[in-house]
């Protein structure tokens, strides 16, 4: 049975430019891991009725019903009064269709730490949790400022963020991974203008400017990297002209409230081996 909520007060513009009406939410469906984590960080956990199939944090989500983010009928069957979506994984066509059917949808687009803090404030404002949202945003901002302050004394290096090794997929300028590198005093050698996560020529790994590669610490990625060491494009790693910093995968791969964990780990690795 759908619980009635207070009438919306006014419309707010989300991070992709769509209007979202303000009002309480008692049946929240989170369509991506980052917005799932954000909902719980804002204290909305008791209102979350389903999460996407990849969500695994915080531990409370393990027992929640799952929904495929592209399953329009499955989402509608949950009778949500708010759907949280993310540009980090959700199909905008599904989001538009939900909105067209009258479902309240709020989409976040956390392409930087500043935008992540903004996402905290956005979702909190939409559901009337402004104080909790401000605390969440301030925590992100303060942790990033502290980590960036530490990185300011480290020698700047040229780098890549590798999202996948074979084929080689890197984070381009304008992504949260690009900001992750920048805050840790790392330049980004990824080509601009080819999309957020372009597939690039593996020979980019032979660029003489490349000194550091940052990657998520996943078993599959580690295996592909070991294979790459036996190829000509792995030469700079074999000769120790470039190094790889492996970051904890979930915080590093999701633009949610735990992303500062990845930055702090990256800065610590750089301090240990500038």
Span 230-248, pLDDT tens digits: 999 999 999 999 999 999 9
Spatial CA neighbour of 202 closest among 229, 226, 166: 166
- What's the mean pLDDT in 109-117? 98
Residue 196 has pLDDT above 70, yes or no: yes
Taking only the tens place, the pLDDT of each residue in 13-52 is 999 999 999 999 999 999 999 999 999 999 999 999 999 9
Instruction: Answer for the pair 192, 160: CB distance below 8 angstroms, yes or no.
Output: no
| Total Cβ atoms within 10 A of residue 66 | 12
Which pTM was predicted?
0.93
Taking only the tens place, the pLDDT of each residue in 118-127 is 999 999 999 9
**All residues at 6 or more sequence positions from 102 whose CB lies less than 8 Å from its CB, including other chains:** none
pLDDT score for 194? 86
Domains and CATH numbers, the chain: 11-142 (3.40.50.1980), 153-272 (3.40.50.1980)
Handedness of CA 44, 45, 47, 48 (dihedral sign): positive
Instruction: Answer for the pair 236, 204: CB distance below 8 angstroms, yes or no.
Output: no
Go through the chain and tell me how many residues it has. Answer: 274
Q: Which two tokens stand for residue 225?
A: 């990297």
Residue 199 has pLDDT above 50, yes or no: yes
């Amino acid at each position: 049975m759908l619980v009635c909520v207070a009438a919306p007060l006014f419309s707010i513009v989300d991070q992709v430019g769509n209007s979202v009406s303000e009002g309480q939410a008692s049946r929240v469906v989170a369509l991506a891991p980052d917005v799932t984590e954000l909902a719980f960080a804002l204290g909305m956990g008791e209102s979350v009725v389903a999460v996407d199939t990849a969500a695994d944090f915080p531990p409370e989500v393990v027992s929640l019903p799952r929904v495929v983010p592209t399953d329009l009928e499955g989402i509608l069957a949950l009778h949500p009064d708010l759907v949280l979506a993310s540009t980090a994984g959700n199909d905008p066509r599904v989001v538009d269709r939900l909105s067209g059917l009258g479902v309240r949808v709020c989409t976040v687009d956390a392409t930087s730490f500043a935008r992540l803090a903004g996402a905290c404030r956005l979702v909190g404002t939409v559901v009337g949790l402004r104080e909790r949202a401000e605390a969440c945003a301030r925590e992100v901002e303060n942790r990033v400022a502290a980590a960036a302050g530490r990185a300011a004394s480290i020698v700047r290096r040229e780098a890549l963020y590798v999202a996948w090794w074979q084929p080689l997929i890197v984070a381009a300028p304008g992504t949260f991974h690009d900001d992750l590198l920048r805050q840790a005093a790392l330049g980004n050698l990824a080509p601009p203008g080819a999309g957020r996560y372009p597939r690039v020529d593996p020979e980019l790994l032979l660029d003489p400017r490349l000194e550091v590669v940052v990657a998520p610490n996943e078993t599959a990625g580690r295996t592909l990297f070991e294979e790459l060491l036996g190829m000509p494009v792995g030469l700079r790693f074999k000769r120790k002209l470039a190094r790889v910093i492996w970051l904890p995968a979930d915080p590093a791969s999701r633009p949610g409230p735990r992303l500062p964990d990845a930055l702090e780990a990256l800065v610590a690795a750089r301090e240990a081996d500038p």
